[in-house]
Amino acid sequence: MHTHDIPVIAIDGPSASGKGTIAQLVANTLGFYYLDSGALYRLVALKTMQTNTNINDINTLANIAKDLDVIFKHDKIFLGDNEVTDAIRTEECGILASNLASYPQVREALTARQRAFCQTPGLVADGRDMGSVIFPNAALKIFLTASAEIRAQRRYKQLIGKGINANIADLLQDIQKRDARDSNRSTAPLQQGTDAKLLDTTALSITQAKDTVLAWYAETCTNK
């Protein structure tokens, strides 16, 4: 089977919109692979911090991205021999990831790695540019969002649940700043493509959001 025959569901959207949770549930239901592309940017950020790399040294950053020694194993993420599943979820790592993600060289270095996740029977990929850049031929493209306030509340619960300290007002500010940075960068900015369906989850439960994606995907399969 050629890669372009493998069905991809691309779910893009802002930080803490719930796209990771929804994408994973949809992937599990369909038996598809799952790509959390944000984790790759967060891994580059973590390695950058660990190696004290200057964040203006674009060549070294691109090499970090190209040479990332990462393994996704079940629900765990390893960088080299170290498990970093929780370490990449801190706000510090997310903010640095958002900054590094504005460098085209870093994005380029991660492109092939992301496309390699596209395997039979299919892939659900979440991020900012899954539908626009990485998988332009995706069977279904979704722009998943929610109000910044609801996203700050969800992120708060997620962090507290992991035992990480958090403050809602700070999180809201970070989310707004991150939205602005991710939306205004010149390479692969976060935006709803004209061919993407809008899914606003502000007033939806996780199950309702997941079921909407599955229903839309079923529609694309019958319309083929």
Binding site for ligand DC (CB under 6 A): 15, 37-38, 41-42, 94, 97-98, 101, 127-129, 178, 182
Between 101 and 123, CB nearer to ligand DC = 101
Between 128 and 154, CB nearer to ligand DC = 128
Least Å distance between CB 224 and ligand DC? 26
Least Å distance between CB 162 and ligand DC? 14
Backbone torsions φ then ψ of 124, nearest 5 degrees: -110, 120
Least Å distance between CB 4 and ligand DC? 20
Between 101 and 199, CB nearer to ligand DC = 101
Least Å distance between CB 25 and ligand DC? 16
Q: Which runs of consecutive H residues, i.e. helices, occur in 69-204?
A: 91-100, 104-115, 148-161, 168-184
Between 101 and 138, CB nearer to ligand DC = 101
Q: Residue type at 164?
A: I
Least Å distance between CB 223 and ligand DC? 27
| Residue 134 contacts residue 115 (beta carbons within 8 Å) | yes
What is the C-alpha to C-alpha distance for residues 110 and 127, in angstroms, rounded to an integer? 13
Between 23 and 221, CB nearer to ligand DC = 23
Considering only CA atoms, which of 131, 180, 171, 138 is closest in space to residue 152? 171
Place of tokens 């940075």: 181
Structure tokens at 178: 């991150």
Q: DSSP for 40-65?
A: HHHHHHHHHHHTT--TT-HHHHHHHH
Least Å distance between CB 61 and ligand DC? 13
What is the C-alpha to C-alpha distance for residues 91 and 48, in angstroms, rounded to an integer? 15
What is the C-alpha to C-alpha distance for residues 171 and 186, in angstroms, rounded to an integer? 25
Between 47 and 128, CB nearer to ligand DC = 128
